[in-house]
Amino acid sequence: MEYVIEHELPGRLRLRCHPGSFNLAESRIIAAILETQPGVASVAASHRTGSLLINYTEEDGGGRDFVLKAVSLLDKSYYEGIDGNDLPGKTSGAEESLGKALTRMLTGVVIRSLLPAGLHATLSVFRALPFLRRGAGSLFRSLRPNVAVLDASAVGVSLMRKDFRTASVIMTLLRLGDTLEEWTHRKSKESLAGSLALHIDKLWIRQDGQELQIPASELKIGNLVVVRAGSVIPVDGVVDAGDGMVDQSSMTGESEAVHRGPGLSVYAGTVLEEGELVIRVTAFDSETRVMKIADMIDESEELKAVVQNRAEKMADAIVPWSFLVSGATWLVTGNIVRATAALMVDYSCALKLSTPLAVLSAMREGTKHGILIKGGRFMETVAAADTFVFDKTGTLTVSTPSVAKVIPFGSWERDEVLRTAACLEEHFPHSIARAVVRQAEIESLQHHEKHSTVEYLAAHGIVSRIGDERLLLGSAHFIFEDNGVIPTPEQQKIIDGEANRYSILYLAAGERLAGILCIEDPLRPDARDTVRHLHNAGVRRIVMLTGDNKRVARSVADKLEVDDVRAQLLPEDKTRIVEELKEESRGVVMVGDGVNDSPALAAADVGVSMKSGADIAREVADLVLTENRLGAIMEARRLGEGMMRKIYRNYTFIVGANSLLLALGVCGVISPAVSALLHNLATVGSGVYALTPILPGEPLSRRRSCRQDDRELH
């Protein structure tokens, strides 16, 4: 099998195979075969992404080189004809439902209870061997006791006392705990990545003038995929034929469906609302944008929160104390049963389970609220940060400019100024030109061409004529300095007043000023509320950075009531300011959307990008707002705070409950079996609490109102 090493850590490999290398059934077979190899602990094979996630050890002759060789030798002919649903072993257990796993376990308990005492004892010894081997191996590797050593000790002591029934109960409960831990952890990760992944098995392609339905695994680059109204677009590609309206909000954050025709790009995961498209495939399966996001989430567990690392270290540090308590109990009481009961209670299992589950659950919840989170540690930082830095254009303001005012001068009427400006600007594609033309359309001002040939002077303005009258449209420098138009004192006073808040576009007829158009980048609908909520939540400092002029920057800053504003900045200036703020703060969150914001996003403790931002900004950012709502920043902060609150509450519960069980076991009130049962129930309880939601569900009306606001602005 051909592969590339996509990611590697000690004891962990992620391999990317060629798209279509294996299907769902074959993924089970591949994982099962690899898990039989020496040193391979577990394998997760994803047919959707074509990836193999392999956890291995250096034991039993295994290791990195052995794993890679095994994968390279795993030819398709080796496993063809095998039924993946009938495979034994770890993979089938990992793939099956929790109900099946518990049923099989319960069946085993019933059967063992009916066996003769001698046979039951023999079976208990054989069942104990994996626990004993795992504990011994762990002790020799780390040279210090951990949870595996603790479990092996509890089982071993029961066997030495020939209390095979207690040993059997303890092993069953340990397996139950492992099963529940594996299932809840796996389901959390699958649900998180699955919220973005596409699940398309078959699609229609156009070939030799005919439409054929093929399996998704047979799709190739360059195929023509046919998509009809109401369907999810399954590939990244370029429209070859047809016209349609595509809802791209999941990818770009645009509030309205956009027109797509020949030559325009479309992305997997977006929805064709109207029309029919024939799309030439440029990327599919694991190479599409949406699947790269899903892959990133799958890898994001490596970016553990500090509190998660702290929990794991604390859990390992507690184990030796369990042995000390058990030994002290035996020395004082001489009762091996009480000493064994002490071994059955460990704090480590619950701590190691509940903390990552809380992190994964919060990340999953973030996707439901329009927040793509690339690692647990970023949520922890967002919750604690006391400084937030915002870019202005495209972040606090909508990146599409609009006409705020039209002010006529002399004999010109307001509508005539706007109509003439739109008539001139409709020939040019830049954003201000589109704003002027759009405003004329909104006001239903018809601007039929009456002018002669239009001459555009780049970065200056437009020159044209209507009849014998020469028209000029452009900047102050172009109108006043290059063409010698002189405003009256009254006009200059008005211009000076508006220039404090807006960018000005000037229209002149002949040598007289005919009017001005005041252009603004409107504030995002939720920008004021976001800044206010951050202040109310205890954020000490909110800073706005922009490359715009100081007057416009100050006007926006005053509307939002930010604490500090820096204007006329270059990208390196923004990065320098972020670095300076990091030295003065507990944490700095930078929010931006442009290419010029990317260095500052990377420099901040947490970078946040708008979904409609530049590709590089989204790549660099640690959080991406997939719905382009600034309010999602507050939700991310509340998620982080809620995650930390759940983790610390679980700490309290785990320490309290297990300390009580430890005391009851040492005092002889409960037996080792009961101690193990209650300990596992407490562990499951902490895991269930870690999975509970933090934020309330978002009302549909709220999303509609947000999108309506965006439509009005656009």
CA within 13 Å, CB half, 258: 16
Who wins on pLDDT, 151 or 511?
511
pLDDT averaged over every residue in the chain? 76
Number of neighbouring beta carbons within 10 Å of residue 2: 10
Q: Is residue 293 part of a domain?
A: no
Instruction: For residues 529 and 382, state if they share a domain.
Output: yes
Under 8 Å CB-to-CB from 283, ≥6 apart: which residues?
Answer: 221, 235, 236, 237, 268, 289
Q: Kindly report the three-state secondary structure assignment for every residue of 501-540.
A: CCEEEEEEECCEEEEEEEEECCECCCHHHHHHHHHHCCCC
Who wins on pLDDT, 342 or 417?
417
Tell me how far apart the alpha carbons of residues 245 and 273 are, in angstroms, rounded to a whole number: 6
Instruction: For residues 409 and 500, state if they share a domain.
Output: yes
Domain boundary among 287, 311, 345: 287
Structural domains counted in the chain: 5
Instruction: For residues 308 and 425, state if they share a domain.
Output: no
Does residue 393 register a pLDDT over 50? yes
Q: Kindly report the three-state secondary structure assignment for every residue of 163-196.
A: CHHHHHHHHHHHHHHHHHHHHHHHHHHHHHHHCC
Q: Is residue 184 part of a domain?
A: yes
pLDDT at residue 328, rounded to an integer: 83
Who wins on pLDDT, 257 or 610?
610
Structural domain that includes position 261: 202-287
The pLDDT of 422-434, averaged and rounded, is: 75
Under 8 Å CB-to-CB from 581, ≥6 apart: which residues?
Answer: 387, 389, 541, 543, 588
How confident is residue 533, by pLDDT bands cut at 50, 70 and 90? Answer: very high
Residue from 548, 545, 585 nearest 566 by CA: 545
Of the candidate ranges 69-78, 218-227, 301-310, 566-575, the one whose mean pLDDT is the lowest: 301-310
Instruction: For residues 179 and 323, state if they share a domain.
Output: yes
Q: Write the CATH number for 70.
A: 3.30.70.100
Tell me how far apart the alpha carbons of residues 480 and 487 are, in angstroms, rounded to a whole number: 8
Instruction: For residues 497 and 414, state if they share a domain.
Output: yes
Tell me how far apart the alpha carbons of residues 504 and 507 are, in angstroms, rounded to a whole number: 10
pLDDT digits (tens, 9 = 90+) for 263-310: 888 887 777 877 889 999 887 665 555 555 445 444 444 444 455 556
Exposed/middle/buried for 292, CB within 10 Å: 0-12, 13-18, 19+? middle
pLDDT at residue 80, rounded to an integer: 59
Does residue 452 register a pLDDT over 60? no
Residue from 635, 597, 639, 632 nearest 618 by CA: 597
Domain boundary among 520, 544, 574: 520
pLDDT at residue 507, rounded to an integer: 93
Of the candidate ranges 176-185, 327-336, 670-679, the one whose mean pLDDT is the lowest: 176-185
Q: Write the CATH number for 207.
A: 2.70.150.10
Tell me how far apart the alpha carbons of residues 152 and 164 are, in angstroms, rounded to a whole number: 14
pLDDT at residue 702, rounded to an integer: 41
Domain boundary among 471, 490, 520: 520
Does residue 32 register a pLDDT over 90? no
Instruction: For residues 447 and 499, state if they share a domain.
Output: yes
Does residue 400 register a pLDDT over 90? no
Q: Is residue 700 part of a domain?
A: no
Q: Is residue 701 part of a domain?
A: no
Q: Are 231 and 247 in contact (CB under 8 A)?
A: no
Tell me how far apart the alpha carbons of residues 614 and 601 are, in angstroms, rounded to a whole number: 12
Q: Is residue 592 part of a domain?
A: yes
How confident is residue 132, by pLDDT bands cut at 50, 70 and 90? Answer: confident
Residue from 526, 523, 525, 561 nearest 635 by CA: 526
Instruction: For residues 614 and 652, state if they share a domain.
Output: no
pTM of the model: 0.53
Q: Is residue 487 part of a domain?
A: yes
Which of 23-37, 339-353, 625-639 reaches the highest mean pLDDT? Answer: 625-639
The pLDDT of 57-79, averaged and rounded, is: 75
Instruction: For residues 514 and 406, state if they share a domain.
Output: yes
Does residue 110 register a pLDDT over 80? no
Q: Could you identify the residue written with the tokens 């009531």?
A: 561
pLDDT at residue 492, rounded to an integer: 92
The pLDDT of 633-645, averaged and rounded, is: 90
Instruction: For residues 616 and 531, state if they share a domain.
Output: yes
Tally of residues, the chain: 714
Does residue 705 register a pLDDT over 70? no
Q: What is the DSSP letter of 699?
A: P
Does residue 590 register a pLDDT over 90? yes
- Diameter over CA atoms, the chain: 114
How confident is residue 96, by pLDDT bands cut at 50, 70 and 90? Answer: very low
Q: Is residue 472 part of a domain?
A: yes
Instruction: For residues 579 and 499, state if they share a domain.
Output: no
Q: Is residue 710 part of a domain?
A: no
Instruction: For residues 134 and 178, state if they share a domain.
Output: yes
- Strand segments (E) across 88-146: none
Q: Write the CATH number for 482.
A: 3.40.1110.10
pLDDT at residue 517, rounded to an integer: 94
Does residue 385 register a pLDDT over 80? yes
Instruction: For residues 406 and 516, state if they share a domain.
Output: yes
How confident is residue 65, by pLDDT bands cut at 50, 70 and 90? Answer: confident
Tokens representing 360 are 């994964």
